[in-house]
Amino acid sequence: MELSFILLPSIILLSFLYSASLFFKRDALLKPTKSTVLKGYPIIGNLPLFIKNGRRTLDWVAELIPTSPTGTVTVVPFVFTANPSNVEHLARTNFNNYPKADDLLAALHDFFGRGILNANGEDWRFQRKAASFEFNTKSLRAFVLDKVRHETVHGLIPLLKRAGRSGEVLDLQDVLERFAFDNICSLVFGEDPKCLSGESEEGEKFYHAFHEASELSVQRAMQPFSLIWKLGKWLDVGSEKRLRKSLEIVRGFVERYVTSRREQSRGGGDFLSRFAADGAHSDEFIRDILISFVLAGRDTTPTALTWFFWVLSSKPEVVEKIREEIKSIRSRHKNHDSEVLTLDELREMGYLHAAVSESLRLYPSVPLLARESKGEDELPDGTHVGKGWTVMYSPYAMGRAEGIWGKDCGEFRPERWMEDGVFQPTSPFRYTVFHAGPRMCLGKDMAYIQMKAVVASILEGFELEVVEKRGKYQLSMTMRMEGGLPVRVKERSI
């Protein structure tokens, strides 16, 4: 899953201030449209709206969308849309006109480098083509499930059993993030940092450095003026000094993995082996690619699972249906002893697939995506887009749009995905959780395999009780749950 949604209040303010001098000119360029246009005040334009709603961007966008008959609202120099036709236009039809913004790429460059999450143009095309080939191989899917199975059986399940016996309250979000980090590092490097078990000091150091580098990079991107973080970097003070030190640790770990693999010249199923095999690319470029993969696997899947288990805590009937499906599939395949289902069995779990999809519809890991228009354009619903404007579509708002999902759009109802007992997917331009077009998430199938395997293992073996009220989101690289998800665990007798 790409992580280009980082468009928080101060970035909005920065873009507004950059465009303020052109406000009247651009306002005059607005053509008649059926979509809603919020016209600003003289001189200050829409600044009061951005200040008022800066800390609640997601909810603000979700409130704006229903006010427009076309699902598009213009707040110069921004266009917010939940119109599937518009999404298809910017994500596929006119893809080349809507790259990631240069300012954002610059702010995240020290962490991501030229990796796929922070690239446009040829760098992006090369990585996308190479990754697309690898992600579509049967060997990778088998490798992914093998790693998930190992981490689940030898890490996650023993930890949950210990917590159940001791009565300890676990932060499930932290557990899932550590599990995901171990798993993605195994996939990417062929090495397990053992963060879930806490058995490796080096692994723990890598985990915390990676987390800090991620958080500080987001903070940098939130600065209203790039000069602020650039000056801090030049002076090597404050958060920029901390970011430099964290990045030294992260790069050191990744570079050691790359160098070791080059020297050993041994193959393997991990991403490092696949990308470094031909030796055609520099160690630095390989490092940037791998860091992007680690970040994507580390953040998005545990975020999705945290919200899923929180939703299930108030939906016992859904939990029971998932358990019945697992039991039925095991019986059909005569698989009663394995702690993790096979790939074929996981694929047959249509209701679990529907339940996960429904949770992601309401709580997408990446809730807002932004693109900068290189030239003037007109969206399919007639909305005018000026050069340099930012066009955003929000999976969060679209998942709550009555025009897309019906009057029960606010309800968690997995059955909306099922027809005659079979899961029915929908257009990626309506269901934008995994994005759409050329930048559609390559790891979608891998993410479903991981999530379904983890959910099945936990629900089969344990009861989870959420012990504190939760439900508020916190925006970072992904839409994490504020305060974590404290749960009490109890083993089930099967």
Residue 134: which residues within 8 A CB-CB, separation 6 or more?
Answer: 140, 271, 274
The answer for residues whose C-beta is within 8 angstroms of residue 25's C-beta and 6 or more apart is none
Question: What's 148's domain CATH number?
Answer: 1.10.630.10
Is there a contact between 287 and 254 (Cβ–Cβ < 8 Å)? yes
Residue 4 lies in a domain: no
Query: What pLDDT, on a 0 to 100 scale, did the predictor assign at position 354?
Result: 98
- pTM of the complete model: 0.90
Cα gap 185→205, rounded to integer Å: 14
Looking at the structure of the chain, the number of domains it has is: 1
Amino acid at 282: S
349: nearest Cα among 437, 219, 263, 456: 456
- Report pLDDT for 5: 46
Q: 391: closest CA among 106, 117, 109, 75?
A: 75
Which residues of the chain have a pLDDT value below 50? 1, 3-5, 8-11, 14-16, 18-19, 21-29
Residue listed under structure tokens 């610059």: 106
pLDDT of residue 477: 82
What is the reported pLDDT for 257?
84
Tell me the DSSP string of 342-380.
-HHHHHH-HHHHHHHHHHHHHS-SS--EEEE-SS-EE-T
**Residue the block writes with tokens 């143009």:** 121
Closest CA relative to residue 311, chosen from 470, 461, 424, 468: 470
What pLDDT shows up at residue 266? 58
Q: Would you say residue 224 lies in a domain?
A: yes
* Strand ordering across the sheet containing 78-81: 36-37, 72-75, 78-81, 390-393, 369-372
Give the three-state DSSP class for 80.
strand
Q: Which residue segment(s) compose the domain that 236 sits in? A: 9-491
- Structural domain includes residue 1: no
Tell me how crowded residue 218 is: count the other CB atoms within 10 A of its CB: 18
Measured CA to CA, the distance from residue 322 to residue 340 in angstroms comes to: 15
Question: Which pLDDT belongs to residue 427?
Answer: 95
Distance of CA 30 to the CA centre of its chain: 33
Domain presence at residue 294: yes
> What is the structure's pLDDT at 43?
66
**Is 441 annotated as belonging to a binding site?**
yes
